[in-house]
Copies of this chain bind each other. A is one copy, B any other.
Amino acid sequence: MASWLQIPKNSPFSLANIPFGIISPAKVSSRVAAIAIGDYALNLSVFASSGGFAQLPAIQQHLGVFNQPTLNAFAALGRPVHRQVREYIQNVFRADTPFPQVLKDNAALQKDALLPLSEVTNHVPMQIGDYTDFYAGLNHAYNVGVLFRGPDNALQPNYTHLPVAYHSRASSVVASGTPIRRPNGQILANPAATPKVPTFAPCKKLDIELELAAFVSTPNDLGNPVPIDQAEDHIFGVVLMNDWSARDIQAWEYIPLGPFNAKNFATTITPWVVLLDALEPFRASGLEPGNRETLLPYLREKKAQNAYNIPLEVEVTNEGGKPTVISHSNATNLLYSFPQMLAHHTITGCNMNPGDLLGSGTISGKESKTEGSFLEQTNGKNPIKLADGSERMFLEDGDTVILRGMAGTEGNYVGFGDCVGKILPAIKIDS
């Protein structure tokens, strides 16, 4: 698909993508809905109020959803509406657009609504009611299991029967670019000593987790599970996520109820929500088919291909240094799909709301340099070498981490944009 708009061939936001987000235009603090295309954001509030959607009758009565500070109301309209809006916008931007008067030949609206991405501020695109983090990256679970319990007991018996998950912290989900403050906390400096007495200190084992995350669109009522065959239509779209983790705080606190302070200080997401329809051409086999017979029926999908072929990478740049890509992975490294996660989450009757966020778990490959966390790649022994020769077991102050993910081929990429966070030093606490 060619566009009349000049779109760089390496842009994650080709005409094949059309992801949705929330922006503040330059010099304006109010938030509105937008899509990203090439190096531009299309302000959907201005576009809608200027008659941009005049050729799409189905959305006429819902135009107010684009003039809100979150995408929750748009998401709640449901997948058929998202699909129509995305396809309409693709048609508006096609070189052979059937509606040239809408934007292609409308210089005034281009000036008002088509804003350089470099001049807009991105925000967390949805009001997140609850954020749940799954653990569906089997290789990650195995790698971490080996570190903690050895290869024979690396995976718990439940792992292949259900998508393991924990509730996580919604309030501290931040948009790409937000600096990450190194957390303070309780750390057991010497785990072998008796009695075990923690010290109070800045986290010394600050790590990343390379994840995808899905936003819920369609809600379900308390007491009413979402059947597996309907689950995909309850998902709005996907973002890239860095689930920052304080490994030393986690090791001391997490038994018996799971990670808490080790995760609650920040989680970074890309601000553009890529619709499942945009990812559909990249459907691929995950680590096992989604319809394997060892699964209980409520988790068994009709489609065997329940993952997406999305190459992922992790780049680290130290202060004043050069970028180093330390890891290449792929979103096929998941044992469970987002529809399976949603079906499991709701099988008890748990109610989901538009804007709820489901993290995939850390996406690691099996080979060296495909790990989605420092913990796995260094194995506590082998430091990561950066371009300027400096070494890392974990993140240091001033380091910048960028996650990237793009499916497709040059000129037609469907990607998320950079998921960026720079580490700031811990604040001083009197203790």
Is residue A337 contacting chain B, with contact meaning CB distance below 8 A?
A: no
A183 touches B257 (CB 8 A): no
Given A186-B296, A255-B156, A261-B348, decide whether A169 and B167 contact each other with a Cβ distance below 8 A: yes
Given A200-B297, A297-B430, A350-B172, decide whether A344 and B261 contact each other with a Cβ distance below 8 A: yes
**Cβ-closest chain B residue relative to A195:** B157
Q: What 0/1 readout, one digit per residue, does chain A (104-138) give for beta carbons within 8 Å of chain B?
A: 00000000000000000000000001101001000
Is residue A4 contacting chain B, with contact meaning CB distance below 8 A?
A: no
Chain B neighbourhood of A344, CB < 8 A: 261
Query: Which segment of A158-166, A234-242, A305-313, A399-407 sits at the interface?
Result: A158-166
> With A and B bound together, what is the CA distance between A313 and B286 in angstroms?
50
Contact of A183 among B197, B264, B348 (CB under 8 A): B348
Contact of A429 among B222, B225, B253, B258 (CB under 8 A): B225
Number of A positions contacting B (CB below 8 A): 66
Is residue A431 contacting chain B, with contact meaning CB distance below 8 A?
A: yes
Is residue A198 contacting chain B, with contact meaning CB distance below 8 A?
A: yes
Query: Which segment of A41-49, A351-359, A387-395 sits at the interface?
Result: A351-359
Q: What 0/1 readout, one digit per residue, does chain A (138-151) give for beta carbons within 8 Å of chain B?
A: 00000000001000
Instruction: Give A213 Cβ to nearest chain B Cβ, in Å.
Output: 15
A256 touches B156 (CB 8 A): yes
Is residue A88 contacting chain B, with contact meaning CB distance below 8 A?
A: no
Given A200-B297, A200-B298, A350-B265, decide whether A171 and B223 contact each other with a Cβ distance below 8 A: no
Chain B neighbourhood of A350, CB < 8 A: 169, 171-172, 261, 264-265
Chain B neighbourhood of A383, CB < 8 A: none
B162 touches A130 (CB 8 A): no
A257 touches B258 (CB 8 A): yes
Is residue A28 contacting chain B, with contact meaning CB distance below 8 A?
A: no
A392-431, CB < 8 A from B? 427, 429-431
**Cβ-closest chain B residue relative to A127:** B129
> With A and B bound together, what is the CA distance between A350 and B427 in angstroms?
13
A244-263, CB < 8 A from B? 246, 249, 252-261
**Cβ-closest chain B residue relative to A249:** B348
Q: What 0/1 readout, one digit per residue, does chain A (191-203) give for beta carbons within 8 Å of chain B?
A: 0000111101000
What residues make up the interface of A, taking CB atoms closer than 8 Å to B?
A: 129-130, 132, 135, 148, 156-158, 161-162, 164-172, 174, 181, 183-186, 195-198, 200, 222-225, 246, 249, 252-261, 264-266, 296-298, 344-345, 347-353, 356, 427, 429-431
Kindly list 13 other residue pairs between chains A and B, CB separation below 8 angstroms, not including A130-B169, A135-B257, A171-B352.
Answer: A129-B129, A130-B130, A158-B252, A158-B255, A161-B186, A164-B256, A171-B356, A183-B349, A184-B348, A200-B298, A254-B258, A265-B349, A297-B431
22 A-B pairs (CB sep. < 8 Å): A130-B170, A135-B257, A158-B196, A165-B260, A166-B166, A166-B258, A167-B167, A169-B350, A171-B222, A171-B350, A171-B351, A183-B349, A185-B347, A185-B348, A186-B296, A223-B427, A246-B348, A258-B258, A264-B345, A265-B349, A265-B350, A298-B429
